[in-house]
Chain A
Amino acid sequence: MSTAVYERIRKNPKFDELVAKRSRFAWTLTAVVLGIYFIFIMIVAFKPKLLATPIWEGGTASIAWPIGAGMILLFWLLTGLYIRRANSEFDDINSEIIKGAIE
């Protein structure tokens, strides 16, 4: 039923623009998350002592905890960053493309 519409969407240069922009953004964020996460896992696996460093000179609480909590917070903020752009900028282009294709 919609193959014709899909083709019209596909031919719209804005479609390519949307896909390129959104993909670049999504993959960049993914790379940041995976990169940080796997560096962390590698440290856990190979250099665990590094994380035992106290937060304050002579203190007991180690940097491991704030690093862990920081990762959780950062990753959540990045998901927020993504939907801020996706739900406004990208979705606007998107609805424009669809409107253009069905008219």
Chain B
Amino acid sequence: MNRGMLKFAAVALALSWMGLAMAAPDVGQAQKQPLNVHAIVMFFIFVMATLGITYWAAKRTKTASDYYSAGGGITGTQNGLAIAGDYMSAATLLGLTSMTYFQGFDGYIYCICFYVGWPFIMFIMAERLRNLGKFTFADITSYRLDQRQVRTVAAIGSLTVVVFYLIAQMVGAGQLIKLLFGLEYWIAVVIVGVLMVVYVTFGGMIATTWVQIIKACLLLGGGTLVMLLAFSQFGFSFEKLAVQAVANSKKGLALMAPGSFLSDPVTAVSLSLGLMFGTAGLPHILMRFFTVPNAKEARKSVFVATLCVGFFFTAVAIMGLAAITLVGMNPQYFEGGELGSKLLGGNNMPAMHLAHAVGGNMMLGFLSAVAFATILAVVAGLALAGASAISHDLYANVIRQGQATEADEVRVSKRSSLVLGVIAVLLGIVFEKQNVAFMVGLAFGVAASCNFPVLILSMYWKGLTTRGAIWGSIAGLVSAVLIVVLSKAVWVVVLGNEKPIFPYEQPALFSMPLAFFMAWLGSVTDTSVRAAREKEAFEDQYVRAQTGFGAAGAAAH
């Protein structure tokens, strides 16, 4: 096991170095950024540190519980940081800064929508998740329902979310690394894929958790530093920042209010629902609740995560506004050195240019390395969640019907993460030239429509039966995917049709109520003996959910 681990790490390193070597001749080419030495050195320090942690974690990962949930031995504060690390992707840093840079307050609205799921998770879900779950959220939905059927649909829901999210991250990673490090797109994607598989296969949840904690600290530290340096140039006066931003932006005063972006009320409400409840249905986030020993620590982790996410989003908004002046008024950040032409490296670059503007190459290198680390941590969490859905839900409980040994289950999980890694790399390469922005929306839409309704009903509604859960999940999944495919983002932009069939791009407002309705309908019309037994079993589940008695505790080491 350890020898295999070393071999893998060596391969990972060799591949990364190979990437570097191959990137070197590209320095002179026009479109790519010059090789960024600072960034690469710092990134290597990060990779070495995380591989070291993976090695350490591999030695401590003995049981299935260690592998899936770090033996329940993570503290609330650690888990809070890890949740924040899982949740804040490179898209948060780059995309939301860019949105504030171009759209002003609309960017901050987006941040608030992404944020508001957290208090909700705290009040309504955290303690029940911890008290009822063990390794995956399907443990909860299938608690008193038919294991095979309910776990199958839950696993399909999880895998759909994981795959779409992974593709978006992979394509983002490839583009970003090509830009920031001067590496070839495919090499970047392969490096991300290999490192992700190494973390997850050898270090399981323990390694994944620590990669996320380190990344969260780096991201928070780096973001705060850039924000403070930028803000200091305006004397820490928000009014001064706003005056200059308005004067220097094409949008002018429109920066200061909600703009065209969310002008359509249906889209605004649907997006806000999807982001809020989607957060509460993301399998890699839900899984994090099983790594703490009890409900007390679960609550603490949400408290810490909420603080980190809220603070970071606010820092990002300030960065975006500051970039309007500090980046937007500096010709060196534009193609051909001309103000008003395209931003060097594309529209996602204001955060990076801002780092350069306030801290030179050193700061740019640091933030680039942080962005890469961020992607690695997020994909590791996703891969672990996907692999667990395959091994714990599909393999151990559906195929082997609970008869698989722990060793078998973990072995399947490791293989699954390898398969997921290969799929992610291949799809990442296939989708290189595509606009994948809709995929994160789709992942949230499916999470909000397929995973969330059944999860919340299984915890709160006695009347939910297996048939209701199946109907609800499938209705939510199919309608969310269908709506996105028929909307402008896919039907027109990707498939090249003239007009969208469905007028709105955000599915949640339609697909989520449909999922709830079908879950209700399927349950109340279910008069089978099994349904009666399932309703009766709610009593015990309810007591356990409330008190935590009988919950999977911290594994004794």
Contact = CB atoms under 8 A, between A and B. Distances in A.
Interface string A4-46: 0110011000010011001000110110011001101110111
B553 interface: no
A9 B242 contact: no
Contact of A51 (B105, B115, B238): B105
A23 to B, nearest CB: 9
Contacts of A60: 239, 242-243, 246, 253, 256
B112 A71 contact: yes
A72 B105 contact: no
Nearest to A73: B310
Given A48-B259, A76-B310, A79-B118, A40 B112 contact: yes
B238 A15 contact: no
Contact of B118 (A15, A18, A29, A75): A75
Interface string A37-65: 11011101110110110111001111011
Name the residue in B119, B303, B550 with the highest tally of chain A Cβ atoms < 10 Å from its Cβ: B119
Contacts of A97: 547
Contact of A72 (B112, B127, B303, B550): B112
Contacts of A22: 546
Interface string B180-217: 00000000000000000000000000000000000000
B227 to A, nearest CB: 13
Contacts of B253: 52, 60
Interface string B51-93: 0000000000000000000000000000000000000000000
Given A73-B310, A86-B299, A65 B547 contact: no
Contacts of B256: 51-52, 54, 60-62, 64-65
A102 to B, nearest CB: 8
A69 B111 CA distance: 10
A5 B455 CA distance: 25
A20 B123 CA distance: 14
A101 B547 CA distance: 11
Interface in A67-101: 68-69, 71-73, 75-76, 78-80, 82-83, 86-87, 91, 94, 97-98, 101
Contacts of B38: none
B123 A29 contact: yes
A19 B548 CA distance: 13
Given A10-B539, A18-B546, A61 B303 contact: no
A80 B239 contact: no
Given A9-B549, A45-B265, A60-B246, A65 B120 contact: no
B176 to A, nearest CB: 27
A33 B539 contact: no
Contacts of B276: 37
A82 B122 contact: yes
B430 interface: no
Interface string B518-557: 0000000000000000000001100110111110000000
A37 B123 contact: no
Nearest to B116: A37
Given A6-B540, A10-B539, A65-B108, A27 B123 contact: yes
Contact of A64 (B257, B299, B546): B257
B120 A34 contact: yes
Contacts of A61: 238-239, 241-243, 256
Contacts of A27: 123
B105 A62 contact: yes
B268 interface: yes
A79 B298 CA distance: 12
Contacts of A75: 115-116, 118-119, 306, 310
Given A55-B239, A98-B549, A48 B257 contact: yes
A15 B119 CA distance: 25
Contacts of A42: 265
15 contacts: A6-B550, A9-B549, A45-B264, A45-B265, A51-B105, A60-B242, A61-B256, A75-B310, A76-B119, A79-B119, A83-B299, A83-B300, A86-B296, A98-B547, A98-B549
Interface of A: 1-3, 5-6, 9-10, 15, 18-19, 22, 26-27, 29-30, 33-34, 37-38, 40-42, 44-46, 48-49, 51-52, 54-56, 59-62, 64-65, 68-69, 71-73, 75-76, 78-80, 82-83, 86-87, 91, 94, 97-98, 101
Which 10 pairs between the two chains have the least Cβ-Cβ distance?
Answer: A52-B257, A45-B265, A61-B242, A62-B256, A48-B258, A72-B310, A45-B268, A26-B123, A6-B543, A83-B299
Given A6-B543, A61-B241, A72-B314, 10 more contacts: A6-B550, A33-B119, A40-B112, A44-B268, A45-B263, A46-B265, A51-B257, A60-B243, A68-B108, A72-B310
